[in-house]
Amino acid sequence: MTEPDDATVGTGSDPVGETTVTEPIPVAPDDAPATAQQAHVEGPRRRARRERAERRAAQARAMAIEQARREAKRRLRGQPEAQPAPRGAVRGLKVALVTLVLSGAVVALGLVLYFTPVMSARGIIVTGTGAVTRGEVLDAAGVRLGTPLLQINTNRVADRVAAIRRVASARVQRQYPSALRITIVERVPVAFKDFPDGPHLYDRDGVDFATAAPPATVPYLDVDNPGPTDPATEAALAVLLALSPEVAAQVSRIAAPSVASITMTLTDGRTVIWGTAERTEEKAEKLAALLTRPGRIYDLSSPDLPTVK
């Protein structure tokens, strides 16, 4: 009996007992029907999203594999494992970079303004002049038109202007974009004294600032060595400055042989004995009241017991 070349022996219940040759039946995977159904139901948008998600997953997997390959190479070479930079360090680096760029821009702008005539002194404004002329101020300032404002040392210019005898103080300001302002305060005469070259005017600080004819209301200062550091001058001027304007206008002469013996002569010939420079404010108030009384001599050397003779 000849046997078949290739056969599968079955265990079926064949009544004859013959060997039955059967073909293998392919079995589909369990999810095959679901996949076919999903493909049948899935729309184009859902399919596009699924495909994008699959591409992202594949890309992430590829990057992870590449990173793992690089780390493996580093380990083989004995190099330390690369650590990602902390987020705070990256932020700090960005801030430092921005700060550096801004600082460079500011420096560049400053150099442009300092060395170029973009903002230069095209005009000089002078205020506060009276007896002092504008020309005197400009000559003392020594600022050339067209000089960049940032190159002008305002303190030095103010010092040069304040060196004018009649100037008590000077202030110099830059007025951007193209002007320089010089403001002066002139000295005001409060007393004068005659010298061989003419009358010298003294301000409230005892500074001899001019040789000129004194105003009619300025009294004569009778001291030996007038000046800002002379005690007698300081005492006499303190008395004049303490008087009310109405009383000060009546003083024609103030004498201070010493700080303890100050006297004043009024324009109508009356005499005021002041004494020391102590309690000056109190004496000035009482003198204004005493002058309303008739008399020739007003003694305030003892302010507690003023007398009129």
Summarised one tens digit per residue, pLDDT across range 122-140 is: 999 999 999 999 999 999 9
For residue 234, pLDDT over 70 is answered with yes
For residue 302, pLDDT over 90 is answered with yes
**Average pLDDT in the 140-148 region?**
95
Q: Output the average pLDDT for the chain.
A: 84
**What is the model's pLDDT at position 84?**
58
- C-alpha–C-alpha distance, residues 121 and 114, integer Å: 12
For residue 285, pLDDT over 50 is answered with yes
For residue 114, pLDDT over 70 is answered with no
**Average pLDDT in the 76-87 region?**
63
Full set of structural domains in the chain with CATH: 117-186 (3.10.20.310), 191-308 (3.40.50.11690)
Residues 6+ apart with CB under 8 A from 260: 275, 276
**Average pLDDT in the 183-206 region?**
97
pLDDT band, very low/low/confident/very high, at 59 (cuts 50, 70, 90): confident
**What is the model's pLDDT at position 15?**
40
Residues 6+ apart with CB under 8 A from 301: 273, 274, 275, 276
Q: Residue for token digits 């302010």?
A: 303
pLDDT band, very low/low/confident/very high, at 82 (cuts 50, 70, 90): low
**What is the model's pLDDT at position 95?**
80
Summarised one tens digit per residue, pLDDT across range 198-221 is: 999 999 999 999 999 999 999 999
Reading the block at residue 108, the tokens are 């560049």
What percent of the chain clears pLDDT 90, i.e. is strictly above it?
60
Reading the block at residue 150, the tokens are 């940032």
Contact 166, 212 (CB under 8 A): no
**What is the model's pLDDT at position 86?**
67
For residue 20, pLDDT over 90 is answered with no
For residue 181, pLDDT over 60 is answered with yes
Least confident among 68-82, 160-174, 295-309: 68-82
**What is the model's pLDDT at position 243?**
96
**What is the model's pLDDT at position 117?**
64
Summarised one tens digit per residue, pLDDT across range 28-47 is: 444 444 444 554 566 888 88
**What is the model's pLDDT at position 40?**
52
pLDDT band, very low/low/confident/very high, at 226 (cuts 50, 70, 90): very high
Residues facing residue 173 across a β-bridge: 181
Contact 236, 191 (CB under 8 A): yes
Q: Which of 108-112, 115-119, 243-247 has the highest mean pLDDT?
A: 243-247
pLDDT band, very low/low/confident/very high, at 303 (cuts 50, 70, 90): very high
**What is the model's pLDDT at position 141?**
97
**What is the model's pLDDT at position 1?**
41
CA distances to 35, 55, 72, 145, 282 from 49, rounded to whole Å, are 17, 10, 34, 74, 99
Half-sphere exposure for 209 (CA within 13 Å, toward CB): 25
pLDDT, greater one: 83 or 175 = 175
